[in-house]
Amino acid sequence: MEWRDADRRLPTGNLDRRSLLKALGSVGLGVAMMSATKTNPAFAADQVSVYTWTTYNNPKLFQSYIDKHGKPDISFFGDTDEAFSKLAGGYKVDLSHPCADDMVRWQKSGMLKPIDESKLSHLKSFWPELLKLPATVDESGNRWFVPFDWGNTSILYRTDKVEIKGDPSWSLLFTDDRYKGQISSYDSGPPNVEIAAAILGYPDLFNLTDDQLKECAKLLRRQRDNVRFYWSDQSTAEQSLASGEIVAAYAWNDAVARLKKQGLPVSYMNPKEGMRTWVCGLVMMKDVAQEDLAYDFINAFTSPDAGQFCVETLGTGHVNRKAFDMVDPKVLDSLGIGNPTAMMERTVFLRAVPEERRKKYVNLFNTIKAGG
């Protein structure tokens, strides 16, 4: 999710969402982690083919499609870089499932076909904030991306051990010396650099100048000196919060519900600088073979019933507002999405960082983490 190829690329940075999906798959929410190869599997000629994340093969996400047409042909990727490369290399499917922050690349690739909004049954029930994300609709009004799932990153903290003074802020994980040695952040460059920039009030977190990065470095050094550890597996942070080893951590919203189920006094911060929100969705490939079925699948995927399952089982938000009326408010609150409208007004929707800038974010974080 931030996922954003879990905030996106596992080896070097932007990792908020994807590793969570992989983790969910590893505990049984995903079946058969099959990876598509350049040679297409034997798709049925009369079925829609969908290329998606491993956790999105549960029939409850597209039951209305199954009721009409039977089971769709689904193949899986591990991250959107893999998906993009294989599709660019000739892998043929009708639909795929990238994320909004990667849509500049996908739209420019020439691999996609615009979406006909008149064929989207649930369009009027979509969160309007998710319909105007950069690069998902072009200047001519063509829609290239149908939002589906979304989720947040913020600070998860122990309410019995942390006192929030003033407006809640991401600075808790950077400059609050009261909790030195008792906090943890995600081991990824771009998220930490972007959050430091948000604390400093910079308007464009995703294209920071060299001078702005120098100022971010000061906060990153404070963070390095205050963290107990940087985590690469969120379960490590969750276990440390549960034991009391740490009192606050960078976390995805699904962790909130898990710790509350253990009876732990935790809260999910809505920082003044905004949460961080990833959004993923469906795109239609230019050479779509089953276009009518593809729209039926999109409509099933974005239905209220699919949204209810998405929230209650996967712990993510959903594009359809009506789904939220079907979920216990306590569940929504436990995930930090009890008031999505208010949250979306303040959140930072993730966007792509130009590659040359992204490398600088990664290098800066790694250098400081190593003592620089």
Q: Above 80 in pLDDT, residue 302?
A: yes
Judge whether 1 lies within some domain.
Answer: no
Are both 43 and 66 inside the same structural domain? Answer: yes
pLDDT class for 44, splitting at 50, 70, 90?
low
318: left (phi over 0), alpha (psi -120 to 50) or beta: beta
Is residue 231 a part of any domain in this protein?
yes
Nearest Cα to Cα of residue 102 among 279, 252, 276: 279
24 and 108 part of one domain: yes
Residue 109 has pLDDT above 70, yes or no: yes
Same domain, 236 and 359: yes
Within this chain, do residues 107 and 166 fall inside the same structural domain, yes or no? no
Q: Are residues 143 and 176 in the same domain?
A: no
For the chain, what is the domain count? 2
Give the number of other Cβ atoms within 10 Å of residue 69's Cβ.
18
Alpha carbon 348 to chain centroid, angstroms: 12
* pLDDT above 70 coverage of the chain, percent: 88
Query: Is residue 319 in a domain?
Result: yes
Q: Are residues 239 and 360 in the same domain?
A: yes
Do residues 197 and 286 share a domain?
Answer: no
On whether both 261 and 292 belong to a single domain, the answer is no
The 10s digit of each residue's pLDDT in 318-335 is 999 999 999 999 999 888
Instruction: Outline where DSSP puts E strands in the chain.
Output: 49-53, 73-77, 95-96, 112-113, 146-158, 183-186, 227-231, 248-252, 266-268, 276-285, 317-318, 348-349
CATH number at residue 252: 3.40.190.10
159 & 129 share domain:
no
* Closest of 330, 224, 198, 175 to residue 277, by C-alpha: 198
Task: For residues 178 and 97, state if they share a domain.
Answer: no
Within this chain, do residues 168 and 70 fall inside the same structural domain, yes or no? no
Residue 331 lies in a domain: yes
**Confidence band of 43 (pLDDT split at 50, 70, 90):** low
Domain region containing 189 = 153-275+353-369
3-state secondary structure 196-248: HHHHCCCCCCCCCCHHHHHHHHHHHHHHHHHEEEEECCHHHHHHHHHHCCCCE
